[in-house]
Every structure is written in C-alpha cells, then in structure tokens.
Amino acid sequence: MSPATSGQFGPPKPTPASLGWVAILFFVFAQVYSVLTSPADAMMGHLQKMMYVHVPAAWVTFAAFAVVLMASVLYLWKDDERADLLAASSAEVGSLFCGLTLVLGMLWGRPTWGVWWSWDARLTSTLVLFLIFVGYLALRSFVEDPQRRGQWSAAVGILGAINVPIVWMSVRWWRTLHQIQSNPRGLSPEYLRGLLLNVAAFTLLVIWFIWRRYEAARYERAAEHAAQAAALGGNNG
Amino acid sequence: MAVRDDIRRIRAIVWKDITTELRSKAGFNSVAALGVTILVLFGLALGPDGPALKDAAAGALWLAVLFAGVLAFNRSYQVELDGGALEALLLYPGARWAIFAGKLIANLIFVTLMLVIVVPVGIVLFSVSVPSTWPSILGVMMLGVVGIVALGTFYSAMSSRSRAREVLLPLLLYPMLIPVLLASMSATKALLFGDVMQETGAWVQMLAAFDVIFLVATFVAFEYVIEV
C-alpha cells in the first residue's frame, strides 16, 4: 500500500465532442430503422418493438458492471486511482441503465404476460444487481477519504458481482419448486438485424456516457488534490 | 508457530468482546428485545388466523434475526471506535484476518444467544408445532446464522466507520444476503412442514456452499477494508 503515489495525475484528455454526436445520431438511426423495418409480431404485435430498447439496455448494463468488476480488481491490484474513478463512472452509468432495463421490462411485461413483475431468476437477479449498485453508490457518497472510498467500494463491487450469479441460482431453485419458467423464444433474422444495430448504438452511448463521467471524475479528483496540496502548504507528495 | 499466535489473538478478541458485553448487557438486551418486537409486528401484520401465521413463521423469524442482527453488527465496531480502540487493535502485530475471525466468532455467539430468546417466542406467537426433526432445524439455523454473521461482520467494518452508518449497513447487507436468507427460510419452512417435497437436502447444501463462498470472500476482502 502506497497512499502517496496514487492520485498524482493531471487533468484528463477531454472526451471528443464528435463521439457524442455520432452516438446520438447512430442511436436515432438504429431506433428508426428497426421500428420501420420489423414486421408486427404474431403474438405481441407492435409491442415487440420494446425489444429494441429493453434488450440493448440490459446488455449494456451487464457490460458496464463488468467494467466495474475489472476496474475494481485493477484498483486493488495496481493501486491506480484512475481505475477507481473508472469503476465509479461505470457503476453510475450501469445503475442508470439497470433501472431503465427494469422499468422497460415491466412496461413490456404488463401487456404481454399480464403482470408487472414475475419472481423469476432473471428479473429478480437484475433487481438485486440494481440494489447492490445503489448500495455501492451510497457507500461512495458517504466516505470522504479517497483511498478508503476506493478500497471499500472495490471490495463491495467485487463481492456484489460474485453475488449476482448466486442470487440467480438460488432464485431459480426457489422458483422451479413452484412453477416452470418461461423460455426465451428464438429470434428470426428480420428482428435480429434491428436488435444488433441497437445493441451497437446503446454500446456507443454507454461508452460516451462513461467517458464523460470519467472525465468529470478526473477533474473532481484533480481539484481535490489541488485543494489538499494548497491546504498542506504546496507539496502533498 | 504463526497460526498458534493467530488463534491466541482470535481468542483474545472474542474474550474481550464477550467481557465488554457481559459487563453492560445493554447491547444484548436491547437487540434481543428488538428481535421479539419485530416478531410481534410480523404477527400483527399477517393477521390473527393460524394457518397464515404458521406459513409465514420461518420467514418472519429469519427477518427478525436479520433486522436485529444488523444493530449487533454495527455495535460490534462502534464500541471499538468510541475509545479509539480499533487503531490500537490494528497496531498490534499479527494478521488482519485474526481481527475479522475474532469479531466474527463474537458476533456468532451474540446472534446465537439472541436466537435462544427469539425462537421460543416465535414458536409461541406463530403457534408453530415443533416437529420431531427439530435438531435439523437447529442445524439449518446455525448455517444461516454463519452466512448472515460473516457478511454482517464484513460490511459493518466499513459502514460503522462511515457517515450514515445506520442506513449504509442495511443498504449494503440486505441485497447481499438474499441467497442466504432464501435458502435458510426455505429449508426451515420445509422442515417445519415435514419436508413433503424432499427439498431440504438441496437447500441445506446450497446454504453450506454459500457459507463457504462468503466466508472465503469476506476473509480475503477484509484485508482491504480494515487497513484504511
């Protein structure tokens, strides 16, 4: 552990503005394209269009939380504060999309299944994932000391990530004793094209979000370091 | 050599925590009273009719243990922080995991003693007929308590040293405990109703597996959360 070495970095490179424009325009294109080209589903009708927002949101949620896990491991291993800031940024964006996934899923589930919520393994473990990362973000906001915050949240992030497959397993077992789970249905190519396009668009959006958030986090930390250095009379090394 | 020293350290920490508790008894009395109160509240919420109460007894009992246990976990570190004792504890030579093990065992004893009071109250209030398989239920309870206490002791090491600890510990702990609680509740409930679906064995295996996973994970991760 070498607390003094971490955090000795200047302001970050700003996120390219073009990335944001490309992400937004691509997202609009992907949504319009997929909604216009996909035929109405035999069973769900135009409700099927929910797939183009719900499924990509779920995928990028898991991608963002995978980044949190990797960045947390990297932080504990290398003690590089930038990894901690990346984990925090991904956790914020991931929680946002996790919440979005849950809400969109409920909006989709109500007309198709007839219920807002079903206690199946996938829904329940996504909800638990959301709650774990709400706790993660709360922990970060309640701890001032940067090193303490970094190590604690890394530990919470890693344990939380370990817990999700365990929750999935236990809920599945709990469910299967009561009733059989619904199976995801196969997907025909005219739906798949739109879906993959939207997954790419969501991924680009999330990269942009995380990048911007990371940039802001870097500025915040640089400002904290500067304030700390000023308080200590010039040199905090 | 070193292992023997660590065992001595663990014993010292357990003994210190128990002695502190024995001298005041305030912590234990209030936590046990809270456990009983929660059971009463569950009874009132679930209505006065017998079958519904009996059906919910296992769940209510585990939630009472959880809610009351959270107070015990935060207290376990709070008593250290008040006198600056945690710094002194960390200054002593030896492995960090010994501190965790000591705290964990002390909390285990604490929560088990709480069960001694809360369980009979639950049996009476929820009109549970104790089946002949009660030793298995005791075993399930011990496994469940180990899981709850391992994660509780770990998370309270952080939450007790942060602002807003009363909020933070439940917020971090409850979602993490879902698998342990689900397995404990299901196994207890199955045993109470005579294990008609032959599911207890699978739940107990899962519970034991969760205990091992969470014990290992918290022992490894404790080094990172106690040093800073």
Q: A169–B179: do the CB atoms touch at under 8 Å?
A: yes
Task: Check residue B88 and give its pLDDT.
Answer: 82
Confidence band (pLDDT; 50, 70, 90) for B58? Answer: very high
* Number of CB atoms found within 10 A of residue B169's CB: 22
pLDDT mean across residues, chain A: 85
CA–CA dist A91, A110 (Å, integer)? 28
Residue A89 has pLDDT above 90, yes or no: yes
What count of residues does chain B have? 228
| A9-44 tens-digit pLDDT | 667 778 888 899 999 999 999 999 988 888 877 777
Q: B178–A1: do the CB atoms touch at under 8 Å?
A: no
Half-sphere exposure of B48 (CA within 13 A, CB side): 0
Task: Check residue B40 and give its pLDDT.
Answer: 94
CA–CA dist A72, A75 (Å, integer)? 5
CA–CA dist A113, A120 (Å, integer)? 13
Of the listed ranges A37-46, B39-48, B154-163, the least confidently predicted one is A37-46
Which two structure tokens, joined as six digits, stand for A6?
């971490």
- Three-state SS at A236: coil
CA–CA dist B155, B67 (Å, integer)? 14
Residue B50 has pLDDT above 50, yes or no: yes
Nearest to B109 by CA among B76, B133, B81, B155: B76
Nearest to A92 by CA among A71, A120, A121: A71
The shortest CB-CB distance from A139 to any of B172, B183, B210 is to B172
Q: A139–B158: do the CB atoms touch at under 8 Å?
A: yes
Nearest to B157 by CA among B94, B104, B215: B104
Q: What is the pTM of this model?
A: 0.88
Task: Check residue A178 and give its pLDDT.
Answer: 47
Nearest to B70 by CA among B100, B35, B105: B35
Q: Average pLDDT of B59-87?
A: 88
**B218 to chain A: closest CA residue:** A159
Q: B224–A151: do the CB atoms touch at under 8 Å?
A: yes
Nearest to B95 by CA among B150, B217, B13: B13
Q: What is the 3-state secondary structure of B167-205?
A: HHHHHHHHHHHHHHHHHHHHHHHHHHCCCCCCCHHHHHH
Q: How many CB pairs under 8 A join A and B?
A: 89
CA–CA dist A1, A3 (Å, integer)? 6
User: In which region does residue A115 sit, left (phi positive, over 0), alpha (psi from -120 to 50) or beta (all else)?
Assistant: beta
Report which of residues B40 and A13 the model is more confident about.
B40
* Number of CB atoms found within 10 A of residue A25's CB: 12
Whether B89 and B76 have beta carbons less than 8 Å apart is answered as no
CA–CA dist A195, A202 (Å, integer)? 10
Of the listed ranges A7-16, A133-142, B2-11, B193-202, the least confidently predicted one is A7-16
B196 touches chain A (CB under 8 A): no
DSSP string, B92-129: SSS-HHHHHHHHHHHHHHHHHHHHHHHHHHHHHHTTPP
Look-up: residue for tokens 């070495």? A5
A interface with B, Cβ–Cβ < 8 A, is 1, 3, 76, 128, 131-132, 134-135, 138-139, 142-145, 147-148, 151-152, 154-156, 158-160, 162-163, 166-167, 169-171, 173-174, 177
Whether B187 and B60 have beta carbons less than 8 Å apart is answered as no
